[in-house]
Amino acid sequence: MHIKKEIRILGIDDSAHINDKVIIIGAFFRGGEQLDGVLRSEITKDGMDATDIIIRMVRNSKYFTQIRVIMLDGVTYAGFNPIDIQLIFDETALPVIVFMRTRPDFEKIELALLHLPEKEKRWEIIQRAGTIYEGEGDNPFCIQFCGIDKDSAFKIVRLTTTHSNIPEPLRVAHLIATGVVLGESKGKA
Amino acid sequence: MHIKKEIRILGIDDSAHINDKVIIIGAFFRGGEQLDGVLRSEITKDGMDATDIIIRMVRNSKYFTQIRVIMLDGVTYAGFNPIDIQLIFDETALPVIVFMRTRPDFEKIELALLHLPEKEKRWEIIQRAGTIYEGEGDNPFCIQFCGIDKDSAFKIVRLTTTHSNIPEPLRVAHLIATGVVLGESKGKA
């Protein structure tokens, strides 16, 4: 994949779970530097609607034709609302990169799912994100991906990690999501 | 005033007026490049509470001690809710720069105020923003200011106008405010 420095990326993060409906924010970024647009939708806390709502948010956006990659912060949003990255790729034709600062604790996730309806389906969707690859260096991280080759996925993460240890589209989506819901942004994506 | 390239600025913009309560967003910026925080408050459409709410939002923020300048997009928010920049300076000890892409049409403003309560008080607050100075060049603009000298105010506007014809803290505050309220950002600050 040819990766321009100014590749357009949509980073999506969720906000604090203070209600049953949880705001998600899409930060439409130009490479690792410039915010060019903001999207907002709502998903259900511990629900099963995150994948469909993200697909709809992306496809209905005026930025849709410009976006080259979708970047996610893990594959469960708003608690354990699972995101099917293969379905997102199928329905949008856009590659998806899942960024995680640490390797997910699958034992803990499986235990948490016991308390939720449709636990097998949730578990299956989480597994569908595929192999976890580790990025080494001063700033270790993990990624999963779909619709893109491994080298390109790593390259995009490194290209956009300009101001912290998190890719800018996710860092900024997080600041917006927490700031808007709590009145002031906090923490890290 | 000594102006570092990474001077911390809070740019404030309002969102679309779809309800009686209008969201305002503060984008806490590092110079003209990096968003470091997001604040959110609500003011009343055509109300008289914008000044007090901005003062409270700034003073209660964890970023308060870092902010060096407040940047506003005009002196009426959420319709004709007037902002008293001298009072903001008195109450926060922070300089205020008002950025406008064009000279405000005072005749039109006076006419609009006729339909609102406390029109003299609104007019007086609007006038209190003082002399309007024009910035020349390829990208003309106007500013008013308080608590800062003219040269420094112009310098900060030019330093932070990095990606468009609007200072980044205001461009990004606008994207967030419209995106969050409408579901997708639109237009310019």
Which residues in chain A are contacts of B36 at CB distance < 8 A?
Answer: 175
Asked if A189 is an interface residue toward chain B (Cβ–Cβ < 8 A), one would say no
C-beta separation of B5 from B165 below 8 A: no
Q: How many other C-beta atoms lie within 10 A of the C-beta of residue B51?
A: 21
Rounded distance between C-alpha atoms, residue B77 and residue B24, angstroms: 9
Whether A1 has a pLDDT exceeding 90, the answer reads no
> Quick check: B188 pLDDT over 80?
no
Among residues of chain A, what percentage have pLDDT more than 70? 99
- Given a contact cutoff of 8 angstroms between Cβ atoms, the answer to whether A174 and A188 are in contact is yes
The answer to whether residue A189 scores a pLDDT higher than 80 is no
pLDDT at residue B114, rounded to an integer: 93
Residues of B in Cβ contact (< 8 Å) with A61? 184
**A104-110: long-range contacts (C-beta < 8 A, 24 or more apart)?**
A104/A74, A104/A132, A104/A142, A109/A76, A109/A80
Please give the average per-residue pLDDT across A39-68, as a whole number. Answer: 98
Alpha carbon of A140 to those of A44, A145, A146, A156, A185: distances in Å?
Answer: 31, 17, 20, 15, 24
Look at B175 and A39 and tell me if their CB atoms are within 8 Å: no
pTM for the whole structure: 0.96
Separation between Cα atoms, residue A13 and residue A71, nearest integer Å: 9
Residue in B33, B62, B183 nearest the CB of A41? B183
CB B41 to CB A184 under 8 A? no
Instruction: Report the candidate in A34, A35, A52 with the shortest Cα–Cα distance to residue A43.
Output: A52
- In chain B, the residue whose alpha carbon lies closest to the alpha carbon of A36 is B175
Angle at A16 between CA B16 and CA A88, to 5 degrees: 80
Instruction: Look at strands B69-72 and B8-14 and give their pairing.
Output: parallel
The residue whose two tokens read 């990025």 is: A135
Q: Which residue of B has its CA nearest to A40?
A: B183
Three-state DSSP at B58 gives helix
Chain B hits for A25, CB-CB cut-off 8 Å, are 179-180
In a mutational test of the B interface, the residue from A29, A39, A40 whose CB has the highest number of chain B CBs within 10 Å is: A40
- Indicate the residue type of A141: F
CB contact under 8 A, B35 and A61: no
Count of residues making up chain A: 189
The per-residue pLDDT for range B86-108, each reduced to its tens digit, is 999 999 999 999 999 999 999 99
Is ipTM > 0.85 here? yes
